Structure 1
Amino acid sequence: MSAGRCRRLPEWEAPRRSPVRLRNQAPPPRREGQPRGSAHPRPLTGLKGQISGRRKIRGLTRPDSRGFFSRESFACLFSARQDPAGDGIPQRCGRPRRRRWRARGRDPGSSLPGFISMNNLNDPPHWNIRPNSRAEGGDGSRWNYALLVPMLGLAAFRWIWSRESQKEIEKERKAYQQKAIAFQQDLEAKYRDIISENRRAVAHLSVELEKEHNRTTSYREALISQGRKLVEERKLLEQERAQVMQEKQQLQPLKSVYQHCLEKEENWQKRAAFLLKEFEEALIERQNIYCSLVLPRTKRLEIEKSLLVRASIDPVAADLEMVSGLTDIFKHDTYCGDMWNSNKRQNGRLMWLYLKYWELAVELNKFKRVEKSILEK
């Protein structure tokens, strides 16, 4: 099958489709300035079997070359669809295409110079941009690559863009994985540190707890032993208290005797206190004369002589043995206060010690005399 029979012929070349005047009429001339995508159909300019732009793109340079898209293969595959109407008009081989709506005049023989053609939906390669039949290549072969170059450029740009995007994605994924691994390792290290610290704290607390338990146990044992000792001491104190109460009951009759003896000795104690008071005043006067630079020495000697005589005569002074004490005071008590001292009690030291001693001796002799009287009775 020829190339002319594999495509739909123009209206002016189709037999039995138009009047004789349209078949014989030449194709309408192209207007100057008319765009290539005009509504006029493309005239048949090439020879029989002229190579179209689509076959050039696919690499077929000969019209009679055999291949998947050759004329013979299309004739064999689509022979049943070449003339489906039975009117003898050949149809384009391959996939059936939609009819392109054409605006016709009301009368083919009218004054219109032909017909107005719109985009043929059954022929997409020849929509708006039509090849220039007067250009080189016959069928407008230079326009076959018009859309191929930007499409290839877009495809290459898309491939490069997708490749770079994939590289960036892989790079970010690796960085994220590294960060995640580092973060996980950091968390694991912190977790191990926390676990080790907690274990050390638990061990330390267990040791402290054991110590406190031992301490409380020792305290409990000490309290128990101390309680036992206190119970024993209480028993002993109760026994002693019983003995004391028994002795008190036994000594109850002696209480009246003791009180009577104390009343007797009260008189002797009063006389001894009065005697000590007189001796204290005489010793203060004697020490004042001794420390004075104006008073005569003879007066001091008279006071000493009178004190010795009274101590030897008075029975209370004899019981207290005051003669020896007075002699010691007269010999060794030479202490005097400041030159400008006006207080007589600041003179002397030894005499004050003897006076305190004689007061204690009076108390002691009183209880001795009471004891002696009780034992005698």
Structure 2
Amino acid sequence: MNNLNDPQDWNIMPERQGDGGGDSSKWNYALLVPMLGLAAFRWIWSKQFQKEIEDVKVKMQKDLDLERQECCNIKLECKALKYKIFRFHEALKKGKEQEQGALNALNEVQKLLMKRQKAFCSPFVYRSWREDEERELMAYTAKHPLAHLKMENDLIDIFNNDRSCAEYLNADPQKNGGLMWLYLRYWRQQLTLQTHQRAEAILGIQTKK
């Protein structure tokens, strides 16, 4: 009599005996199918997950390489900037030394012009002073460090047109002269401007006009 709870070939009982290994093979096959499916799923999932990991690693490496390159570029830019600043300060220092030498020479020119103007305001003295001192003053300003100012025409203008004298019996030589003081101020401004222009030229900076 058939077992209604166990239709033929529906349930696979590992302890059933009968036709040899038939039932056992069905049992093994029934277990193998889901196991293979699970293994395939796990393999596919593992491969997909591994690919995502590799993609993230590649992106992180690219970002890291980019960051390193940016840091390297920043370091190079900082190094170049420091070098430019160093060159600028060296040029400025040298320019200041040249400016100071020119200012010292210009102070000597001022003394000579004051002496000349005092003589001019004393007619009897001026005639004897004028023959040699004016030529010597022209020659002095044509030498370094005042040569670049090209003062010859300015001095001729002073000699020919500066007739300003202080009051009679004036004891202050700085009261004599008018045009000469304007030129002296102009020459000093030129020296300062040229000092900065030389420093800026080294860095390739054009002075704004």
- With the length of structure 2 as denominator, give the TM-score of the two structures: 0.56
Pick the aligned partner of 1:286 from 116, 120, 125. 116
Q: Which residue of 1 aligns with 2:138?
A: 308
Aligned to 1:340, the other structure's residue is in SS state coil
> Within 2, Cα distance between the matches of 1:370 and 1:323?
26
> Are 1:375 and 2:204 an aligned pair?
yes
Q: Structure 2 regions of 5+ residues with no counterpart?
A: 1-76
Larger Rg: 1
> Within 1, Cα distance between the matches of 2:144 and 2:202?
18
> Within 2, Cα distance between the matches of 1:293 and 1:315?
33
Q: Which residue of 2 aligns with 1:157?
A: none
Q: 1:262, CA displacement in angstroms? A: 1.1
Q: Structure 1 regions of 5+ residues with no counterpart?
A: 1-246
CA RMSD of aligned residues (A): 2.3
Pick the aligned partner of 1:339 from 162, 165, 168. 168
1:164-183 CA distance string (max 9 Å, x none):
xxxxxxxxxxxxxxxxxxxx
Counterpart amino acid of residue 276 in structure 1:
L
Structure with the higher helix share, 1 or 2: 2
Higher relative CO (CA 8 A, sep ≥ 6), structure 1 or 2?
2
> Within 2, Cα distance between the matches of 1:254 and 1:293?
57
Q: Which residue of 2 aligns with 1:267?
A: 97
Count of residue correspondences: 129
1:286-317 CA distance string (max 9 Å, x none):
000000144251213321111111222x1322
> Are 1:322 and 2:151 an aligned pair?
yes
Q: Which residue of 1 aligns with 2:3?
A: none
Equivalence map 1:166-205=2 (5 Å): none
Give the % identical residues. Answer: 30
> Within 2, Cα distance between the matches of 1:255 and 1:327?
42
- With the length of structure 1 as denominator, give the TM-score of the two structures: 0.32
Is the Cα–Cα contact under 8 Å of residues 261 and 374 in structure 1 kept in the other structure?
no
Q: 1:372, CA displacement in angstroms? A: 1.9
> Are 1:299 and 2:158 an aligned pair?
no
> Within 2, Cα distance between the matches of 1:366 and 1:276?
15
1:22-59 CA distance string (max 9 Å, x none):
xxxxxxxxxxxxxxxxxxxxxxxxxxxxxxxxxxxxxx
Counterpart amino acid of residue 128 in structure 2:
T
